[in-house]
Every structure is written in C-alpha cells, then in structure tokens.
Amino acid sequence: MKNEYEAKFLNVNVSLVRAQLRELGAVQAMPRTMLSRYIYENDAVQGNQWLRLRDEGGKTTLPLKQVVDSSNIDGTTEIETEVGDLHATAELLTALGLRQVRYQQNYREEWRIGAVTFDFDTWPDLPTFLEIEGPDESSVRQAAADLGLDYAEARFGSADDIYKSELGRDILAEPTLLFTDATGR
C-alpha cells in the first residue's frame, strides 16, 4: 500500500478559493458531481481498513484504504484501481464474501495544478471543505501556502473523523449517509 498525502481544510470560502485556483492556473478536472460509495467489509477487511467501490460520475474506482494515524498527513495508505462496471464489481465483491456495510453520497468538484489535486467536498450536514492531495507532503504544504491556508489547521484521515469532531456523529455506525434534498444539503 502506498501513502496518500492529503490534507483537509475546513471553513474555507469556496468562491474565494476557486478564484485563487483560477489565478494560479488550475484547471477544473471535474465539475460538481455526485459521488456514490459502497463500503465493503469481511473478516479480513475491517476496523481502520475498508474497501470502497465508488461511482465518480463516469469513472468507477475500487481502493482498499487504511488509516493508521489520522493526526499525520502520511497516516492513510491506499491501493486503488479503476474498474469498468460498478454493478458487476459489486456482484463480484459480494460473491467473494464481502458485505456491503455502508452506502454514502457526497459531492465533489475537482481542480488540478500539475500533480496536485484540489477537491471541494460536500457531505451531508457538513459545510463544504477543501481537500488538497499531492505526491508528497511538501507539495501539499506548498499548495496550501499558495492559497493562504494555515497548514497548522489541516486535518488528516477520513471524513468520519470530521463528522466525529464537528458534529459528534459516528457515520461508521450509519448504513446510509444521504443528502436530504437534490441541492446537496
């Protein structure tokens, strides 16, 4: 498994950051798109590790993710591959004995500058936040600095950590995490 280098910044002004990204020469790689994710577990995949099948609006990915330390930028590891058919892959995972334990939705808008990705993520009941992912920690730190973000305020780990800290909510105990209306609220 390889380390993921990503940092989340809460309480961002989306319009301002979007304008800054344009000024820096970023290109929009994906307009605001609904993502659907199916989380699978079995006796071999559980705890701080999960298998996620995600429909990314035209692309389907299957990563095995593990958070080993949510307090550091390199605390999450991942093995990911793109798969061709969401439904066939779901059927294959079930046939292999994995159980779908959660279904979640979020919206994502993606921008890129070189090897660095900037994602505006909107999850049910949370304000939109910015996730910066790069090939290493220094690229993420530099991208945050270019946007005037304080790296000391960066958050690491997965969205469930944000739900716990911001709302006191354990989304890992919820079989579905959905928006209540079509506007993404």
In a domain, 47, yes or no: yes
Domain count, the chain: 1
In a domain, 133, yes or no: yes
Query: Strand pairing partners for 4?
Result: 76
In a domain, 128, yes or no: yes
In a domain, 183, yes or no: no
Q: What is the pLDDT along the chain (185 residues), one digit of tens a residue?
A: 888 999 999 999 999 999 999 999 999 999 999 999 999 998 887 668 899 999 998 899 999 999 889 999 999 999 999 999 999 999 999 999 999 999 999 999 999 999 999 999 999 999 999 999 999 999 999 999 999 999 999 999 999 999 999 999 999 999 999 998 765 55
What domain range is 78 assigned to? 2-177
In a domain, 43, yes or no: yes
Q: What is the pLDDT of residue 44?
A: 82
Give me the CATH number covering residue 73: 2.40.320.10
Burial class from Cβ neighbours inside 10 Å (0-12, 13-18, 19+) for residue 10 reads middle
d(CA 88, CA 117): 29
Contact 12, 130 (CB under 8 A): yes
In a domain, 12, yes or no: yes
Phi, psi of 84 (to 5 degrees): -85, -30
Of residues 115, 93, 164, the one with CA closest to residue 6 = 115
Residue whose token pair is 């307090």: 71
In a domain, 184, yes or no: no
Of residues 61, 64, 58, the one with CA closest to residue 29 = 58
Q: What is the pLDDT of residue 48?
A: 81
In a domain, 153, yes or no: yes
